[in-house]
Amino acid sequence: MSDKMEVRFPVKANTKLRNATEAQRNNIEIICGGTGLHWPDLNEDLSVTGILEGKYGY
């Protein structure tokens, strides 16, 4: 993030990320003006706000 803050979450909490290869997990794009994350190989999107609220997808 622009203020050097790191946001982390447990990959195991998201089925698509948990079952993905390391290469698929590492292929990530920042979207929506920096407020979202997109994994094109997995067709998975998460918002930074959602992650901060403990919402890691399914």
Backbone angles phi, psi at 13, to 5 degrees: -80, -10
Enumerate residues 6+ apart whose C-beta is below 8 A from 9: 51, 56
Residue-wise pLDDT tens digits, 12-42 = 999 999 999 999 999 999 999 999 999 999 9
- C-beta separation of 56 from 10 below 8 A: yes
Q: Quote the CA–CA distance of 24 and 9 in Å, as a whole number.
A: 17
| pTM recorded for the entire structure | 0.87
- DSSP 3-state assignment of 26? helix
